[in-house]
A and B are shown apart, each in its own frame.
Chain A
Amino acid sequence: MSEPTFPTMQGPVCPLPLNQHDQIVIGHGSGGLMTHELIRDLFQKYLGNPTLNAGNDGAIVAASEAMPAGSRLVVSTDAHIVSPLFFPGGDIGRLAICGTVNDVAMMGAQPRYLTATFILEEGFSIAALEEVLRSMQAACAEAGVSIIAADTKVTEKGKSDGLFISTTGFGWLPEGRRIAGDNAQPGDAVLVSGPMGNHGIAVMQARGNLGFQSEVRSDTTPLNALAWGLCQAVPTVHVLRDPTRGGLATTLAEIAAQSQVNITLEEAAIPIDQPVRKACELLGLDPLYLANEGKMIVILPEDDANAALSYLHSQRYGEGAQLIGKVSAIPAGQVWLRTPLGTTRVLEMLAGEMLPRIC
């Protein structure tokens, strides 16, 4: 007598397939099962940690764990809408992490925790979202920070632009340390941690409508280790700031106004990679106004400049550091540029978007 054969019960027995979507749909933002699956399968997979994964309405962080005695809390927030989302050297995810980490670090603070909100447009590719999250995971690991609270919403198609990310960063500032934009003093030296303009050119190139190709890559990078180490090695740092939107010139103009000092730069000393220079010449752009996402300006007493440069040169992301200028009292509130010819021109703040020109 032969054994009865039973059906194998394999194949699509469950009528509710998971992960059948390759695009974000409105249901992903509804708060229901699809949202939970999206969070579990993507967000927690890449950004997860015990605090985030606890899944409560709020994250609990013990003050003593977050902040040593005597220290102060530093908070910074930033929204990221970069287009295109992916560019040579980076993407919106890496930018969202590094941008906020760096803002906290430029205060002389140690960033620890981030929050992140994601606004997704209906139709956005899940594969692209996964790529962004993977990138954020790597950036968090490199920076040594974790995302402890997050939120995601989905808009109807056409009501947003693919993906927007907003991050808020929390860090602690040691007692007694004061690094701020109004702290530049006459006699200070101005340093920059590496070449200018790479991020701006990389993003323009990736947009594709300006018709040029190059090997230029964005410098998007977490600078917290570099900034923290510098402040330990050279405690007299007065100002740190990353020259993002508006570039070196605009950022220094802000500092000159805040501190009511004059900043004079030596044009020949400002490091700019050759392809960045050439792309600017081709398009009629000024590299001093292009965004950087992995560089910092350091303003400190002149006598400590060499020690600062030595430290930066010995560290990752600081190899290209240069002394580029000095601070004096007058005329206050202005940034001057001395050309190789010995002539001088004023660097104004960037008014509006910098556009390619033919004239």
Chain B
Amino acid sequence: MCLAIPGKILEIYERDGTLMSKVDFGGVQQEVCLATTPEAQVGQYVIVHAGFALNLLSAEEAEETLRLLKELEESIQDGENLGEGE
């Protein structure tokens, strides 16, 4: 129930009264329903499952992951420095 991949909205339109879009996944396009994310705009990225957008993708998390790794690596170094003194 979890297969969903990110794609970029190319165009938005209405079909039979429901909000639809054309989404690009890097060379493959699919018609995706935006009834679940009506605030989405052309150019934004959404995560798509079963022909529907689950949510918009946000930019912050990449930095968060990198920051976490950086903290962890620094804390190893601190730990080693402390260890040397014992």
**Do chains A and B make direct contact within the complex (CB under 8 angstroms)?**
yes
What is the chain B residue whose CB lies nearest that of A280? B28
Q: Does B79 sit at the interface, judged by CB under 8 A?
A: no
Whether the pair B30, A212 counts as a contact (CB closer than 8 A) is yes
Whether the pair B2, A359 counts as a contact (CB closer than 8 A) is yes
For the complex formed, measure the closest distance between the CB of B22 and the CB atoms of chain A, giving whole angstroms: 9
Interface residues of A in 121-161 (CB under 8 A from B): none
Taking CB atoms, residues of chain B closer than 8 Å to A279 are 25, 28
What is the chain A residue whose CB lies nearest that of B1? A359
Task: Say whether, besides A211-B30, A358-B49, A358-B50, A284 and B25 are in contact (CB < 8 Å).
Answer: no
Task: Say whether, besides A358-B1, A359-B1, A359-B3, A214 and B28 are in contact (CB < 8 Å).
Answer: yes
Interface residues of B in 1-34 (CB under 8 A from A): 1-3, 5, 25-31
Task: Say whether, besides A357-B3, A359-B2, A213 and B29 are in contact (CB < 8 Å).
Answer: yes
Complex Cα distance, B3 from A212, in Å, reads 16
Q: Does A278 sit at the interface, judged by CB under 8 A?
A: yes
Complex Cα distance, B37 from A202, in Å, reads 31
Whether the pair B5, A281 counts as a contact (CB closer than 8 A) is yes
Q: Does A215 sit at the interface, judged by CB under 8 A?
A: yes
For the complex formed, measure the closest distance between the CB of B86 and the CB atoms of chain A, giving whole angstroms: 35
What is the chain A residue whose CB lies nearest that of B27? A275
Whether the pair B50, A282 counts as a contact (CB closer than 8 A) is no
Q: Does A274 sit at the interface, judged by CB under 8 A?
A: yes
Complex Cα distance, B50 from A215, in Å, reads 22
Whether the pair B27, A282 counts as a contact (CB closer than 8 A) is no
Whether the pair A278, B51 counts as a contact (CB closer than 8 A) is no
- Chain A 50-92, CB-CB to B under 8 Å as 1, else 0, gives 0000000000000000000000000000000000000000000
Instruction: List 23 interface pairs A-B (beta carbons < 8 Å), by A numbering.
Output: A212-B28, A212-B29, A212-B30, A213-B29, A215-B27, A216-B27, A274-B26, A275-B27, A278-B25, A278-B26, A278-B27, A279-B28, A281-B5, A281-B25, A282-B5, A282-B25, A282-B28, A357-B3, A358-B1, A358-B3, A358-B49, A359-B1, A359-B2
The 4 closest A-B pairs by CB, nearest first: A275-B27, A214-B28, A278-B28, A278-B26
